Amino acid sequence: MTGDPDWKTLLETDAHVRFVAVGEHRLRAILPISLASLALLLVLGGVTAAAPADLPQTIAFDQTVAAIISQVTTPTLEYELAGLTGERPVTVAGSLYTITTRYSRQTEAISMATRYAYEQLAGYGLAVTYHDYSWSSYLLRNVVAEKPGLVDPDEVYLITAHVDDLPQGPLAPGADDNGSGSVAVLMAARLLASHDFAHTIRFVLFTGEEQGLRGSAAYAADCAAREENIEGVVNLDMIAYNTGEPVFDAYARSGTYAGAPESRRLADVFSDVVGIYDLGLVPHRIDADTYPLRSGSDQWSFLDQGYPAFLAIEDMDDFTPYYHSVSDTLATLDLDYYGDFTRAAIATIAHLGRPMPVRVYLPWIVHER
């Protein structure tokens, strides 16, 4: 979460058919059945290729989503966060490396941190790219992985976090701010990569957030220039510190600004999954156009371009005292709270992407001459 004073003051079924070389007459026999089955399955799955994308008005329990989020465990989150915050070495470019800081102006360190994220995402089988941008005299990059949708691939949902941190020195663990959000995005990518969705899901990690949302501003502007159809952005920033009741804040845009109603619905989807999947969190939606929604984290870069977005963050009334310090370590976090927050985030992006029905294989159909 950015703390720059200038900003703070702003208050499937895929109906799979094996086309083997059995002759043209057999292909003609299979094709009509496969197409009819695909159409039926799309209807049963609640997804039609002709229907425009819209945010779900209701969220129903989905066994597939429940199975996915059941794989999020606190030991796994703890292990992954220890790697990103320098408490254990990680493998980057084939060698062990300790990420002691992710400060955006530490050129080698942030390069290694983003390469680590890139390699993790690629290892899940996703298509990954760097999004390069320049700021001041620095050449920086974001990391973007994509799971293409099978029905409406041009309709895109993002789950995002900033991977950079503070303070400026050689030691900046940034466990809560924002290793917590970054590991949740990586976990979402790991668990959703093998599943199919109607809409495209992107997993994005930004740099330059602590210097005024530099990475997300560059990325959102490029998306707008390409006229990309971004239907919603779930931004995670500081999601692991808690000392009392497990409240989380969901900051959405107020009024009738572009993307404002959708922003509020996105926040509601996040809150809905908490109840549906019996997660140990207490939702608190806040509609405001002041800090931290405005310029406090990367959701603002998308709202500023007219895209729907919201911020999911720990209770701002129970704010970490280790913010932007060398003491922002894994030991200060509530891992049970963090685990449920991560499960809620993954369930939210899964529902927004609209899981495709489980694959059903058609029986062999053979026509003899």
Peptide bond before 321: cis, by omega within 30 degrees of 0? no
Q: What is the pLDDT of residue 125?
A: 97
Q: What are the 10-residue block averages of pLDDT along the chain, 369 residues in total?
A: 48 31 36 40 37 70 97 98 98 98 96 98 98 94 98 98 97 98 98 98 98 98 98 98 98 92 97 98 96 97 97 97 98 98 98 84 46
Distance from CA of residue 328 to its chain's centroid? 23
Q: Please give the C-alpha separations between residue 96 and each of 89, 99, 143, in angstroms, as whole numbers.
A: 6, 10, 21
CATH 3.40.630.10 fits 5-11+58-353, yes or no: yes
SS3 129: strand
Distance CA 215, CA 166 (A): 15
Neighbours of 33 (CB within 10 A): 14
Q: What is the pLDDT of residue 52?
A: 37
pTM: 0.85
Q: Where are the domains of the chain?
A: 5-11+58-353
Which of 157, 198, 182 minimizes the C-alpha distance to 190? 182
**Amino acid residing at 172:** A
- pLDDT tens, position by position, 225-263: 999 999 999 999 999 999 999 999 999 999 888 889 999
SS3 annotation, 214-278? HHHHHHHHHHHHCCCEEEEEEEECCCCCCCCCCEEEEEECCCCCCCHHHHHHHHHHHHHHHHHCC
Q: What is the pLDDT of residue 3?
A: 64
The answer to whether 61 and 276 are in contact (CB under 8 A) is: yes
Q: What is the pLDDT of residue 171?
A: 97
What are the tokens at 224? 């707008």
Q: What are phi and psi of 304, to 5 degrees?
A: -65, -25
